[in-house]
Amino acid sequence: MTALAIRQLVPTPGGRIAGGSIMLDGEELQQFSEVQMRQVRGSRIAMIFQEPQTSLNPVLTVGDQIRETIYQHTALRNDAAPQRVLELLDAVGIPDPKRRYGEYPHQLSGYMTQRIMIAIARAAEPAGLIADEPTTALDVTIQAQVLELLKKLQQETGMAILLITHDLGVVAGMADRVAVMYAGQIVEQANREDFFAHPRHPYSEKLFASLPGDMKRGQPLAVIRGSVPPLYQTFNGCRFVERCDYAWEACHNTPPRWQESGIRCHRYDDTVAGATEARATTAASPPLTVTSPTGEPLLQLKKLKIHFPVHKGLLRRVSGYVKAVDGLSLSIQRGHTLALVGESGCGKTTAGKGLLRLLPVTGGSVEYEGHDLARLNASALRKLRSDLQIIFQDPYASMNPRMLVGDIIAEGMVAQGMVAGREQREQRVCELLAKVGLPAGSMQRYPHEFSGGQRPRICIARALSFDPQLIVCDEPTSALDVSVQAQILNLLQKLQAEMGLSYLFITHNISVVEYLAHDVAVMYLGRIVEQGSVEEVLHNPKHPYTQALLSAVPTIDAAEQREVIRLEGDMPSPLNPPSGCHFHPRCPYAFAVCREQYPQTTSLGRTHGVKCHLYDSEKA
């Protein structure tokens, strides 16, 4: 909302700028008319929106949309404008700009549409750029490319960037100064080095304590209790007071003032009684050690294949197959978490849905307790459905908006005949809500009445209603901020310890993998290229693709900032995968055999295996 206000785009009706000042090069933007603001937007302050697919016009080619900005804010016309469009497409790293010029947004991948947005923003060479969550939900390699592009453009043009993000790793790699916002106010501001060395506001401290990582394995992450207060109320004191571990009487009665040192907190205001004592207080989370039982095989995937036919022509003949999953083999241990990682489009979600038979299986087997799920008929499979559940990536979209939460959770139990009467069913729903940290009254509310951090809990309660053995978690924390993410990860870890659950955790967040997972499998173009324990794969990666993935992971530790291994080109299409090793067109170490023959698995330890010709035994 702050970013939209800068460009005079506050949603109406109802929204208005009630006070204050917005200065641009000494000019007060609030005094500009709408006609004047049209010249400011794009030519002086450009913006990259959070969701490029919904921000681009679906009925205009990307070339026309960039040219539109050029016509609006520059003097280029005729052949000069299209030529400038091609230069911009090339500058933002779009391959084959002439062909892409005439394509529509839906024909481009997610990261390419993000690059188109950057090209539009750069078209008039603005002095400032607002980037609103430009890398949210992107995998780490694509995120690294987008951030690298923004850095490059800033160096070339000298433009200022306002980067809006909840990823502290991105902040550490991009920002010169950091401002922390809470409930409509800036509560702390500092240069990057000082902020990451010593965050001062209690909210900032909690954000850092909520970050997952291998150093916190087996321990609960710090959680900010409660939720952000509604902003329609009048605040008598600090807006963070109900969630703060340091709060005292002054925090409840007096709003903290903004101090020249760059903080809004009574603890650092010596004119407030009790400030010195509050600084000496150490906030502590209740200790809790979480352990998992030793695993034994629960479910095994052997050469699983999921191919989708491609139909062409008037008669809709099959012209080929999209090999989304192509010979995938995995073993998930009882009571353990297996993380499945890889770039977007590599087949992770398809594999998760395939093992549950939510998608048709083309070949291979899914072995569970003596049954091959890939070959069971509908009746036999239905009896095992309760053991194998899924938490979808978008919890809100996976719930019926017209059903009460209590009915959503109970629906599966009714279908499986697990509870007899209404009273017993409601009691079971209340128990499940309590288990995931929601009040019993939640069962009488609709999904839209819950926050983004509460909806995944409802989906977890629905999955637990069957007393499952395995839950497929499909990116359950991808769009959550770190404090809400910590709540969900703590809950999943606690449930695993109490119930012996196994998880297939599909994600592109490596820090979550370090914290939660026991084993890791790295997927590329429908196949596993490396797998092993967390320590083996993340601390000693062998496959060039795994090395590139890990190099692109942003970190908040300046001493750990590392050079990103940039992968050339895009992931090939699963409709027409490369011959030999699928990774060889992008691999910096590829040699002749890589182009001719797909590598077999080379064992590097008891559980560590890699598919790469660099480690073939006969070539070692």
Can you give the pLDDT at residue 281? 59
CB 442 within 8 A of CB 405: yes
CA 408/CA 458 separation, integer angstroms? 9
Q: Among the listed ranges 276-280, 380-384, 429-433, which one has the minimum average pLDDT value?
A: 276-280
Query: For 102-117, what is the mean pLDDT?
Result: 86
| Dihedral sign from CA coordinates of 350, 479, 61, 125 | negative
Confidence of residue 354 (pLDDT cuts 50, 70, 90): very high
Confidence of residue 114 (pLDDT cuts 50, 70, 90): confident
* Closest C-alpha to 462, from 453, 452, 471: 471
Query: For 344-373, what is the mean pLDDT?
Result: 92
- Over residues 524-574, the pLDDT tens digits come to 999 999 999 999 999 999 999 999 999 988 888 766 666 788 887 778 888
Range list of H helices, 356-442: 378-384, 405-416, 422-435
Token representation of residue 357: 């038979």
**456 CB neighbour count, 10 Å cutoff:** 27
Confidence of residue 331 (pLDDT cuts 50, 70, 90): very high
Can you give the pLDDT at residue 479? 67
CB 334 within 8 A of CB 401: no
Can you give the pLDDT at residue 457? 87
- Over residues 190-201, the pLDDT tens digits come to 999 999 999 999
pTM comes to: 0.83
Q: Is 542 strand, coil or helix?
A: coil
Q: Tell whether the model's pLDDT for residue 283 goes beyond 70.
A: no
**614 CB neighbour count, 10 Å cutoff:** 17
Can you give the pLDDT at residue 602? 94
Q: Tell whether the model's pLDDT for residue 290 goes beyond 60.
A: no
Confidence of residue 616 (pLDDT cuts 50, 70, 90): confident
Query: For 373-377, what is the mean pLDDT?
Result: 93
CB 526 within 8 A of CB 362: no
CA 300/CA 519 separation, integer angstroms? 14
State the number of CA atoms in the 13 A half-sphere of 109 facing the CB: 16
Helix (H) or strand (E) holding 333: strand 317-333
- Over residues 511-534, the pLDDT tens digits come to 899 999 999 999 999 999 999 999
**Which of residues 114 and 600 earns the better pLDDT score?**
600
Query: For 458-469, what is the mean pLDDT?
Result: 92
Can you give the pLDDT at residue 363? 95
Can you give the pLDDT at residue 357? 94
Beta strand pairing status for 297-312 and 317-333?
A: antiparallel
> For the sheet containing 470-474, what is the strand order?
388-391, 470-474, 502-506, 337-341, 519-524, 527-533, 609-611, 601-603
Strand segments (E) across 126-253: 128-132, 160-164, 177-182, 185-191
Query: For 342-360, what is the mean pLDDT?
Result: 91
Confidence of residue 309 (pLDDT cuts 50, 70, 90): very high
Can you give the pLDDT at residue 620? 41
What are residue 399's phi and psi, to 5 degrees? Answer: -115, 145
Q: Among the listed ranges 74-83, 101-110, 377-386, 477-486, which one has the minimum average pLDDT value?
A: 477-486
What contacts 320, CB < 8 A, 6 or more positions away?
Answer: 309, 310, 575, 576
Query: For 117-130, what is the mean pLDDT?
Result: 92
Q: Among the listed ranges 340-354, 402-416, 471-485, which one has the minimum average pLDDT value?
A: 471-485
